[in-house]
Each structure stands twice: as C-alpha cells, then as structure tokens.
A and B are shown apart, each in its own frame.
With several copies, the nearest count.
Chain A
Amino acid sequence: MVEIDTERCKGCGLCVEACPRKILALSTEFNKAGHHPAVLLDPDRCIYCLACARLCPDLAITISKEAETV
C-alpha cells in the first residue's frame, strides 16, 4: 500500500517522475499549505519498487504490503 500524506506533500513531483509505472500524478486540488499533492492513480499496477518513497524529499510516502505477500 502506497500511502501519501497529502498534508506533508509539497507537490514537487519527484515521485511522479520516479515511478516506473507512471501511476502517480499531482492532484489538481490544493492541500492546506497550497500545494497540489501527489495521488496514486492506479494502486494495482504498483510493483512496490519504493522509488517514489525514496525520491520524496518530504517523507510523505509510506509503503507497506500484506504480510503474506512479502
């Protein structure tokens, strides 16, 4: 599960750039600080490569997975 803390997110887009599956995008909505936070468009296509989380300068992304499938 790729969780994006939309209030921590600053809409930099580095995760979007990093995702090999291109399943991330910036929202058109604003968060409280006035940024367009990242959103996961298609969770099912996620390959859990962690690239998005690793490229997020604001540690806005947490990734976890069902235990049995790890």
Chain B
Amino acid sequence: MKTNDTVIRFTGIGGQGILFAGKMLAEAALSAGIHPCFAPSYGAEKRGGPSECTVILSHGELPSPCASRSQAAVVMNGASFLREEQRLAGGGIIVVNSSVCGDLKLSRADLSLFPVPASELAEKLKNDRVANVVITGALAELLGAHLGIQLSQEHLVEGLKRTLAGKGDLMAVNTEALTCGQEYARSLASQ
C-alpha cells in the first residue's frame, strides 16, 4: 500500500543494539521536524532471540504503526535478509552489515543493496558495540540520497544525544561511529 510515509525496518539479534539504532533515527527525525513513530517488537527470550524494530517517518499525519511494506531495511544479521527483502516496497534500499552477513545477493531488481562492514568499521573505532551506530550513519546518508529524507549531521548527533540520555561519556565514540558510517555510505555512492 502506497503512502507518503517512509518505513524503515531494523533487524538483527538481541544484543546488537537494534532498538538503539531505531530509536536514534527516530530521535534524529524528530529533531529535524519529521513525525517519527518507533515500534519495537520483542521475543520472549531475554537475550539472543531475534530483535526488530520499525521506524516510520511521516509528514504531519499519524501513520499506522503496522507497516507491512518498508522503504528501507537495515539488516544486522543474515538470518532476516530474505524476509526484509520481501517486505521492501519497489525502489527500496537495504543496508546490510556485511561484516556479519557476508556476501548477500538481491533476488529483486527493484531494490538497491548497500553492504556496509559495520562491525569491522566499529572495531577500527576500538568499540565493537557501535556497529549499530555506524550502520545507522550509513542509512541516514542513503535515506537522503535515495528516499529524499534529509537528516543533517546536526540532527543525527542530536538523535544520538537523546538516545544516549545520561550516558554522556559514550557520545564521543558514537559520534565518531556515526560519521564513519556516513562517510562510508558517501564513498559507496561515489563508487
């Protein structure tokens, strides 16, 4: 179903910071004046189970939090690739953490795949827990380039800040991760 909303799905397994990534994007959108709706979905296990969330960016109107089709997907763990691929609407983009998922191939021609070695990039930042922020940085960049959602560096940093709320000491490394992801995405574009 076609609407004016942009639906972005984040998937992975527990512990990868999926909810953080989604929430950060939603916060960034909010600071950019876009109405975000962030919907997590949990399994029953406390750890290790599949983890997923959806961020819907809309302009002014209340979107449905139930979105079957997405415009963008972030895949942190290979297991959910196929499913997300199917759930994307034509013209959608799919950003995968290639450090974990390895080489994935699209089976649909109307989508664009962007492999980002987020874990490796994060390890270079000496903090393998920021892979989620790296990939979100890349996503933000791609949202601008492909789906017309402009989130400035400033808004993204603001999103990070609000999501980290209280854990101020983590700002530096996360901002670095963000920039690193953005840059990587830009480099993809220029390739």
**Residues of A at under 8 Å CB distance from B?**
10, 33-35
8 example contacts (A-B, Cβ-Cβ < 8 A) are as follows A10-B48, A33-B13, A33-B48, A34-B13, A34-B15, A34-B48, A34-B77, A35-B48
**Residues of B at under 8 Å CB distance from A?**
13, 15, 48, 77
The residue of chain A having its C-beta at the shortest distance from the C-beta of B15 within the complex is A34
Which residues of A are found within 8 Å of B77, using beta-carbon distances? 34
With A and B bound together, what is the CA distance between A26 and B36 in angstroms? Answer: 42
The residue of chain A having its C-beta at the shortest distance from the C-beta of B13 within the complex is A34
Which residues of B are found within 8 Å of A10, using beta-carbon distances? 48
Which residues of B are found within 8 Å of A34, using beta-carbon distances? 13, 15, 48, 77
The residue of chain B having its C-beta at the shortest distance from the C-beta of A35 within the complex is B48
Q: Which 8 A-B pairs have the closest CB atoms?
A: A34-B13, A33-B48, A34-B48, A34-B15, A10-B48, A35-B48, A34-B77, A33-B13
Which residues of B are found within 8 Å of A35, using beta-carbon distances? 48
Nearest-neighbour CB distance to chain B for A19, whole angstroms, equals 24
The residue of chain A having its C-beta at the shortest distance from the C-beta of B79 within the complex is A32
With A and B bound together, what is the CA distance between A41 and B77 in angstroms? Answer: 29
Nearest-neighbour CB distance to chain A for B32, whole angstroms, equals 33
The residue of chain A having its C-beta at the shortest distance from the C-beta of B47 within the complex is A10
From A10, A33, A34, A35, residue with most partner B Cβ within 10 Å: A34
Known: A10-B48, A33-B48, A34-B13. 5 other contacts (CB 8 A): A33-B13, A34-B15, A34-B48, A34-B77, A35-B48
Nearest-neighbour CB distance to chain B for A62, whole angstroms, equals 22
With A and B bound together, what is the CA distance between A10 and B13 in angstroms? Answer: 14
